[in-house]
Structure 1
Amino acid sequence: MTTKELKAVKSLRLNKEIMILRADKSNCTVVLDESEYKDKLNTLLESGVYETLPKDPTAKVERKVDDKFFQQKDGMAMGNSLSPIVSNIFMEHFEKLALDSAPYKPSVWLRYVDDTFVVWPHGSERLQTFFDHLNSLRPSICFTMETESNNAISFLDVLVIREKTALATQVYRKPTHTGQYLNFNSNHPPHVKRGLIKSLHDRASTICQDRRDLAREINNLRHDLQLNGYSKGFID
C-alpha cells in the first residue's frame, strides 16, 4: 500500500462514527455508519426471532448488544451442521404451501438454497400480488425480488438472457468480482492449481451455449489467471 493509502486506512480506524467489517460474501470490506448499523441490528433483534436473556448463558460469549444478551428462539442457528438440512426441508414445505395457495402461479419456480429463479406469465400487477403473498405466510421468511433488466437477469453464477424464442446463458460475475483466484505462487500442490483451471473451464463450457460467448469467457479466464501468476503453458 502507498503512504497515502496507509494514512487513509489509519484515519478510518480512528473514526468512531463508522464500523469496518468484512462482508459475508466476496473479498470485500464494508464501511458502515455505526448508528445505522446499530439500528439495523436492533431491528433484527426486535423481529421476534430473538428474546432477551436474564444473564450471560456462557462464559465464552464474545459480544453483547447494549449490555444485553440474546438467544435465538426461532429458526436454525448459523454454523450448526443440521441447519442446512432442516432449513431445506422447511423450505420445501413452505414452497408447496405458498404455491398451492397462490391464485396465480409461476410457470417456472426453481430454487437453490435461498435463491429462486421464476418465470412469471401473468403481468407485473399480479407479480407484485404474488410477491406480497409469499411475504405474508411467515414473518421470519422475507423474500426480495429482482426483475430482468434489458432482457437479462442473473441467477447464481449464470446470466440468463431472454431472446426471441429461447433463453441463452453466459457466465455471470458480480460487480465486486476482482479476478482473484488461488495464486500460482501459493504453497499448494500442482494438482490443486490444475483443478482450479479445469473447474473454471468446465463451468464456462457448461454455462455458455454460444461458441462466441465461450471463446470470450476462456479469454477472460486466461487473462485473470495470468494476473494470478499462471503461465500460458500451465493454463493451456
Structure 2
Amino acid sequence: MKGLNFSVTRPHSNLDMACAVESVVSKLPQTKGMEFRWKVRSMLEKSESSRPNMTTKELKAVKSLRLNKEIRILRADKGNCTVVLDESEYKDKLNTLLESGVYETLPKDPTAKVESKVQKLLSKYKTTLPTDLKHRLTPYHSKPPHLYGLPKIHKAGIPLRPIVSSIGCPCLALASFLRKILSPFAGKFDSFVKNSAHFVQLLKTVNLHSEDTLVSFDVVSLITNVPVDEVLHIIEKKLHDDVTLAERSVLQVGAIMELLEVCLRTTYFQVDDKFFQQKDGMAMGNSLSPIVSNIFMEHSEKLALD
C-alpha cells in the first residue's frame, strides 16, 4: 500500500553531483580541493544506478493520475487518509469557504508592498541585528501565500479546512525567527497537553474512578478567531516581564512587537488569479499561529480560573 508519503526513487545525476561538489570545493585550498575531487570521482565511478521502487504499471498509473485534471488528490484533514475529489467538487467547496464572510477580495497582489514593509522594518534595526541574521530574515522576490483545502472526512458533507501555504512569502523567515522568541511563553500550564502520547502519560498519574467522565471542549476555528489586538497586548506584557529575553533576542520589546504585528496581520493569499484577505484572526499556515493561539488560550484559562 502506497500513500502520499511514499517517495519514488529518482535516478541520480553524476553531473548534478559534480556541480554541487564543485561549489564547495572552490572554497577549499587547491591541494585539498584536488584531493576531494578525486575521492568524489572514485565514488561516482563505483556507484550503481538507483533501482526503481515502483513497477512499470505503477509508474504509468501515477503519471495518468498526475495528468488527470478532472480530479484532485488530497490528504485528509485527519486520519492519515488519501482523498480523491472531482476537481469541480473541490472548487465548489473552496468557493463555499471564500464566500463564507470570513474573507474579502483584494484588488491586486499586495506581495511587493508587504515585502517592502518587512525590508524597511529590518533596515530600521540594522545596527542591532547581526548582518547575517538580517540577511536571512530579509525577503527578496517573494511569492504570495496560497490557499488550499484539506477535506474533513469526519464531518458531514466533507467540508474543507482552509490552509494557507506560506512557502516563499515575505514573512516566512521572520515568523520562524519570532516563533523561537515566543516559545517559552506557551505550554507552561499544568493543563497543557502536547499530543495524544503526552495525554496517555498524564492519565497514568491520575487515579480514575468508574463514575469519572472525560469531557472535551473544542474551540471552533481557534486560529482564525484569535483577536489579534488582544493577543498582541498579552504578548507585549509577557515580553516586558521576561527577565531572560536578552538571552534569545538582541531586539528590544518594541522592535519585536513591530515585527510580530506585521506577521500576524499579513493574512492575504492567492487562489488561482484572485487575491483575498482574512478579515479577522490569524492565518492557518502561519508558523506563528499555533504558538500565539496557545498563548491566548492559556491567558484566557488563567483569567477564568483566578
Q: Identify the structure with the greater helix proportion.
A: 2
Q: Identify the structure with the greater strand proportion.
A: 1
TM norm. shorter chain > 0.5:
no
Q: What TM-score range do you get, normalising by the shorter chain?
A: 0.3 to 0.5
TM-score (norm 2): 0.27
